[in-house]
Amino acid sequence: MKVADVYIHGEWRWPDTWVTRYPSLLDLQHFTSHSADKVVWRSSSGLELDYGTSSVWNDIRTAHDEVPWSDMVWFPQAIPRHSFFMWLLVNKKLKTQDIMARWLSSGNMNFNLMCCSLCTLGPDSHEHLFFECPYSDQVWKGVKDLAGLHNVTNSWGSIYDHLVHFRGSKNAKHVIGRMVVSAAGYFVWQERNARLFSTKKRGANRLIEVILTTVRMKLHTMRFKRTSQVDSILQDWSLPRGLVIEDDDCG
Ligand SMILES: [Zn+2]
């Protein structure tokens, strides 16, 4: 209900039931404002905010300290489905076989029957899939140079440390590093699932191609600030020089 519905021709016209319940309504002074009705949100600290889902959400949510990996998982150039995947990976929430074995240990499922669908050498886990598995390792080696991560090993710990170290950096090399790791993880996980639940199989070289093509397509939509580093990145990725602009951040 709006104020205009109960304030008519200079008089308050409260519904009878309201007055019975809240007699103090009769003591209300005349209404003197001529501004238009609007919806406001009174915050937990008593401020009147313009109503909007974001202001309400920020008021009612419990805010925690920012986690170190937030800018590494969510960044402007990221591919949303890859970010969602990275969020699960960083938090080790993917349903890998080592985790499922713990759930099933009381049942009659045999853990020994589970094995990594990429290498069939043993059960998979976050560490194994990203990227210690021989198949994933081959994929990692095939993409890490273009990602500017030559010196980073195939262990998730070292990849994570590197990305967290450069989180928030807008340097093209660091942005591309984040994009390639997210895409590599996403497609390795997709391949792992495809092999478990279907008969489809792609070799490591094919997967490398898919990862690099996906990132290259995304790079095509970005604009880069001119530096000598950017010139060589464009060359390495076979991207047109027209993506360089003179005075802005990449992306
Ligand atoms: Zn494996």
DSSP string, 168-237: T---HHHHHHHHHHHHHHHHHHHHHHHHHHSS----HHHHHHHHHHHHHHHHHT--EE--HHHHHHHHHT
Q: What is the mean pLDDT of the chain?
A: 90
pLDDT for residue 107 is more than 70: no
pLDDT for residue 29 is more than 80: no
- Look up residue 90 and give its two tokens: 């960083």
pLDDT for residue 3 is more than 90: no
The reported pLDDT for the residue numbered 241 is 86
Distance 198 CA to ligand 1 centre (A): 17
Distance 212 CA to ligand 1 centre (A): 21
Distance 122 CA to ligand 1 centre (A): 7
Tell me the pLDDT tens digit for each residue of 6-22: 888 878 889 999 999 99
The reported pLDDT for the residue numbered 101 is 83
Distance 71 CA to ligand 1 centre (A): 29
The reported pLDDT for the residue numbered 204 is 97
Tell me the pLDDT tens digit for each residue of 110-162: 666 689 999 999 889 999 999 999 999 999 999 999 999 999 999 999 999 99
Tell me the pLDDT tens digit for each residue of 40-93: 899 999 999 889 999 999 999 998 999 999 999 999 999 999 999 999 999 999
The reported pLDDT for the residue numbered 158 is 96
The reported pLDDT for the residue numbered 106 is 63
What is the rounded (10 degree) CA torsion for 46, 47, 48, 52?
-100
Distance 123 CA to ligand 1 centre (A): 8
The reported pLDDT for the residue numbered 251 is 47
Helices marked H in the chain: 3-6, 16-21, 53-60, 70-73, 80-90, 97-104, 126-127, 134-143, 156-165, 172-197, 204-220, 228-236
Distance 153 CA to ligand 1 centre (A): 17
Higher pLDDT, 149 or 25: 149
How large is the average pLDDT for residues 173-186? 97
Bridge-based pairing state of the strands 40-42 and 224-225: unpaired
Distance 56 CA to ligand 1 centre (A): 46
The residues whose Cβ lies within 5 A of ligand 1, an ion, are 116, 118-119, 133
pTM here? 0.78
The reported pLDDT for the residue numbered 111 is 62
The reported pLDDT for the residue numbered 112 is 61
pLDDT over 70 percentage in the chain: 92
Tell me the pLDDT tens digit for each residue of 185-219: 999 999 999 999 999 999 999 999 999 999 999 99
pLDDT for residue 231 is more than 50: yes
Residue 32 binned pLDDT confidence (cut-offs 50, 70, 90): low
Distance 78 CA to ligand 1 centre (A): 27
Distance 68 CA to ligand 1 centre (A): 29
